[in-house]
Structure formats: C-alpha cells, structure tokens
Chains A and B, each alone.
Chain A
Amino acid sequence: MGSKKKTILKLSGAVAAMYLFSFLLVPLYDVFCDITGLNGKVAQTTNAESSISIEGREIGLQFISHNNAGMPWTFKPSKEVSKIKTGTMYEATFYAKNTTNKMMVGRAVNSVAPTNAKDYIKKIECFCFAEGIELMPGEEVLLPIKMVVDNELPKNIKNIVLSYTIFDSNLENNIIMDHDSDHAGS
C-alpha cells in the first residue's frame, strides 16, 4: 500500500501547486502584458532624449477621458484633439476637480490605441504614474503630461488615441456606495 500513499502525496502536491499557480498568474499576467505590449499601458521612461529629432511627421493625437462608475470628479483633457510632430516634445494637461465636499484620492489608468503604438510613446511625466491624486473638497488642478512620439512610429499609424480613466482610490467607497443603490427588489 506504500505506492498508494505516494500517489496521494503527489496529487496533493499538485493541488497545492496549482492553487499557488493561480496566484502566480497575477504577476505573470503583468509581465506578459508588459513584454507583449498588451493592455496598451504606457510605462514611464527616462531616456526620451534619444527619441527627440528634428525631422518628423505630423500625426493626430486625441485625448479621451472616462469616469469610472460612481466617481464624481470632473475630469477632462484641456485640449481634446491636436496635431503633433513625432520627435518633438509635447506637453498637455488634464483638468480635474473634486466636486464633492470631502477629501478624495483619485487614480488614473491609461491605455493607448492602436496598441502597437505603445512602444513608440515615451512619457517622461504623466499624472497616470501617480499612485494617487489627492484633492481637497472643491479643489481643481491641471494634471501634466510630457511625452515624445518616436519617429520610428509605423508609417500606417496616423492617429493615436490616449485614454485615461479616473477611479476613486478608496475601494471601500465603491463597495458601500453600490450596496446603497441596491436593487434589492426581491
């Protein structure tokens, strides 16, 4: 019966390993997205200098903004559509206002379309890198973005859309709020 015990042990080991693996999927997913550029999240760079050059072509750049459900702030790009030149440093701002009467922390998550433009956008500064944007009741700010689009951007890409979604960082708020607006009809 010794071999029975061995089989049981091996199988239990496999169960434990697969349970751990499910949690390992979380960092793996991030690494995978990072390598492949899925998800369109643009990372912060410090060596944008190499992307700056005098020649360059004109492309369209559009900023769009969303509020996650239940996020009351006003949040929008100062200028929605612009023509920019690749190889040239570009600065833009987003306007944000805390419309509530309590201090709140927001967090912006970015995404780019088309996704294969991601590798050619070098962001030196972006409010989306911040873990939290803290605003007092009624406070308004202009949030900065500083970026270059590399000249190597594939020729077929003529327009880039950068999307930002603002979330309420206080997760508790999200949950409590939703239970209040409960559809407990049944």
Chain B
Amino acid sequence: MSAVIENHHNEHDHHGPAKGLKRWFYTTNHKDIGTLYLWFSFAMFLIGGAMAMIIRAELFQPGMQIVEPEFYNQMITLHGLIMIFGGVMPAFVGLANWLVPMMIGAPDMALPRMNNLSFWILPFAFFVLLSSLFMEGGAPNFGWTFYAPLSTTYAPPSTTFFIFSVHIMGASSIMGSINVIVTIMNMRAPGMGLMKMPLFVWSWLITAYLLIAVMPVLAGAVTMMLMDIHFGTSFFNAAGGGDPVLFQHIFWFFGHPEVYIMILPAFGIVSHIIETFSRKQLFGYSSMVWAMLSIAILSFVVWAHHMFTVGMPLAAELFFMWSTMLIAVPTGVKVFNWIATMFKGSITFETPMLFACAFVVLFTLGGFSGLMLAITPADFQYHDTYFVVAHFHYVLVPGAIFSIMAAVYYWIPKWTGNMYDERLGRLHFWLSFIGVNVTFFPQHFIGLAGMPRRVPDYALQFADWNMVSTAGAFLFGFSQVFFLFIVVKTVMGGKQATDQVWEGARGLEWTVDSPAPYHTFSVPPKVS
C-alpha cells in the first residue's frame, strides 16, 4: 500500500483504537462493530441453545418431566426468536461489517455513527425480550410466528414488551441494511464494477434490499397487534370485523423473504470458501448472481406455502405450490456451480472447507424436504408436524449456522492474525456434523408418523426417535461450547498467519496484513 496520496482520508490514519471499554461503546470502526456483532450473536446463540437444551430435555421421554407446559411454550417461542433475530441475523451483519469494506476496498462503512447505533440498540432489545421471562404471566408463549389471536386476545401481558423489542430489532436491521447498501453502491474501489464484486458482497447487497422491503412489514404487523391489544382496533379480530388469517398473510409476506435473508449471505460465504480450497476459479460467477437475484424476487410470491391448510381456493394453492417449486431451479443452479467448482480441483479439507461441504450436502437435503412440503396435498399431512421442524432446522443449522462457523474459521486468521488449531477445528466440525444429523434426521421420521410440533408431551410410539434426537442435541450443544473455547484460544494466540492465509485465497481482504490493521484501504486500491 502506498500512502503517498493522502487527501481527505487522512483524518482516520493517525490513530488506532481507543483504550478500555470506551473503545467499544463509542467505536465507529467497522472492524470493532463487526467484532461486537459477532460476539453478541455468539452470546445469543448460547442462550438460545440453552433453551433448546431445556426443550430437548423435556422431550427426552414422553410425559411431563422437567418443566411446566406453559414454560415449555415460552422456551419454544424465545428459542426461535433469539436464534433468528439474535443469532443468525446479527452474525451475518457482523460478517458484513468486517468483510464488505475490506472486500470492496473501502476505508469503512458509509455511515459509521449509524453503525454504532444499530449495534448498540440490539442488546437493549434482547434485554427487554428476555426480561419478559420474569414478568407476570411469563414470556411470550405463542411461537416465533406469533399468530393472532394467540398473540393478541390470548397473549400474556408481556406481549407489549415483545412488540417493543421486535420494533427495536427491526430498526437495527433496517439501519444495518441502509449502511450496507450505501457502502456497496458508493464506496467501491475504482475499477470494481458490479459484476466484479465478490459474491459475499453481492449476497449482502441483495439481502439488504430484502431486509428493507420486509422489515417494515414486520413492524407493521406488530404495530397492528399493539393496536388490537391496547387501542381497541380489530385488525385480526373477527368480532370487530377483522380477520386472523390476514395476520398470517402479513406475517408470511415478511416471513418467507426472511428465511432467504438468513441463507443468501451463507451462499456468498460458501462460494468463497469452496473456490479457495478447490484452488480454482468459481464456476459460473454470473449465474450465481442471477440465481441469487431470482431467488430474492421469487421469495415475494411464495409466502402462502406456509398457509396451505388455512382454506384457500384451488387456484391459489396451485399458484403457491408451483411458484415455491420454481425457487428450486435457481437454488439448484447454485448447488450445481459449487459442485462444478470442486470438480477436478486440487481440494484440501481444512475446517472451513469441511463446514462448506457439509453445507452443500445438508442444505440441499433441507431443500428437498422443502420441496416435499411444497406439494400442497402432501403438506396437509406434514404441516405443523416435526417434519417441518426437521426441514427448517436442516436449512438453518447446517445451512445458515454452518456457513457462519465456516466463515469464522476462514477469516479468523485475518481478524486476529493467529491461525486456529486445525486439529481442534476438525474435531469441532465432526462433533457438530454428527450432532446435527443425529438430532434432526430422526425428526423427519417422527414428523411423517404424525408427531405434532410445539408439544411438551407426545404419544408413546414417538419415544425412541425422540430419545435419539435429544442425545444428538446435547452432543451438538456441547460441541458449541467447545467452539467457544477454540475461538477464545485463537484470539489469545496461535501460529502467526500469513497475509494471504490460504494458498488459494483471492480477494482484496487477503492483500492487507494479518491481523488486519485498524484502518485499511484509506487509499483505495486499484482493481484490475
């Protein structure tokens, strides 16, 4: 890097991070904020995970053993909300903060102060959400989908706090997305055209647009709930002329794009990792971009596949069935491209690559069960059973979460300057891989056999597979504590990483020092 032309960028150059706690409260540095997001999401992942352990412990045997059914429902609800809004989404925002500026050769995010704000309101939102556990009537107990009237007429008083926290999370996501889009649209290094952007940047650009389109709709839904509860309106109350089915339409208009918000950045990450460890150029770059764009657009017209059983006319059932299946086409293109990239590559299986390969296989499996659910007549049997639980956990755990772990292993040498311990990383991978499959694969069987979801007790014939599933869940759960240990160990020290870190790594972030200096690309690099 030549530091010769220092014009208006130089105000950043002469200082490093502030000292002490103040650094973290006042920071506007994209790397600091990325780190905050990542640690926050890790904390939420462990809290949400602890709740999952309570759920699985209760389900270890039929009958009520450990918790009250009311508390069980609160655990189900908080687990879902915390994992989605506190675990997966902030982790991706953290990765975007760390990586997007470095990948496009920008000195920082476009709106650093808003960046600070959008992070620091998050812990507050989750504090409010979690504190509802200690309120009269308990925490929200209506599932992460909070269907009205369960979440209005029949909801505990703490629902108002739930609504408040969802508003804050939404505001945080919207600010984060605006920041990402403005950064990508305005701060790319000269020479980096749109079709030269790294795929992680592309995936986040599309995700950010999705967020901007649907987070306000979520905010609208909870606002209507708030008005139904406190101001006597009847958006979702048939007694006052409203309609509870309307709630489901509004929710899933947000909800389906939301599931793609949780997977598109994963597509970006996995593309980079497979490319690097196959030591080949990614196969079909532009088709990857088009596939993501078409998935994003299609995700707006498939929402009612979550509502096949509410009573829709045949034409609507058919429309939503076919449009849902259509999404499998661009998704298939991506899977094909990943495999084609590996084909005849000189592959090595370091931990990030192991996670990425598991992603490709297991995410595809989740996509297949999704296709089964998309078959309308079949969904009448599968809906609200453990089969759905198996489906979305396959796309979210070995999908979204494996991609996040892969990303951490892949980029942590750049963040900390230290290599993680490869042996421990691989051990963590295998424990997670076995754990996740032992947990969720049997749920396909018990779901097809008819076990309903969101129940604390079940019929005897489901006992065996539930026991297996719980065993897998605890294996998976403890492996993640092990992951925490590996991450902390890497932050504390380890073999010095080279600048390029991985032999096959390309991209601007690998051209800066390891660990990445506090300020990078104060002078934009030339991209050819």
Q: Which residues of A approach B to under 8 Å, CB–CB?
A: 1, 3-4, 7-8, 11-12, 14-16, 18-19, 21-23, 25-26, 29, 36-39, 68, 107, 109, 115-116, 131, 165, 167-169, 171-172, 174-175, 178-179, 182-186
Contacts and interface: CB of A to CB of B under 8 A. Distances in A.
Contact of A184 (B137, B221, B311): B137
B316 A186 contact: no
B216 A22 contact: yes
A22 B221 contact: yes
Nearest to B235: A26
Contact of B220 (A19, A109, A168, A185): A19
Nearest to A29: B246
Nearest to B228: A171
Nearest to A107: B239
B313 A38 contact: yes
Interface string B217-229: 1011100100011
A125 B243 CA distance: 23
A182 B156 contact: yes
Interface string B243-260: 101100110010000000
Interface of B: 68, 70-71, 74, 110-111, 136-138, 153-154, 156-157, 174, 177-178, 181-182, 185-186, 212-217, 219-221, 224, 228-229, 232, 234-235, 237-241, 243, 245-246, 249-250, 253, 311-313, 316
Given A172-B232, A184-B136, A7 B239 contact: no
Contacts of B70: 183-186
Given A18-B213, A19-B219, A7 B186 contact: yes
Contacts of B136: 184
Nearest to A178: B154
A35 to B, nearest CB: 12
B90 to A, nearest CB: 19
A169 B239 contact: yes
Given A8-B182, A107-B241, 9 more contacts: A7-B181, A7-B186, A11-B177, A18-B212, A39-B245, A68-B238, A109-B238, A169-B240, A171-B228
Contacts of B220: 19, 21-23, 25
Nearest to A183: B70
Given A29-B249, A39-B243, A186-B71, A11 B212 contact: yes
A36 B313 contact: yes
B240 A171 contact: yes
B238 A165 contact: yes
23 contacts: A3-B186, A4-B186, A7-B181, A8-B111, A8-B178, A8-B182, A11-B182, A12-B178, A14-B213, A15-B174, A15-B178, A18-B212, A18-B214, A18-B216, A19-B217, A22-B221, A22-B250, A23-B224, A25-B217, A29-B249, A36-B313, A168-B239, A171-B237
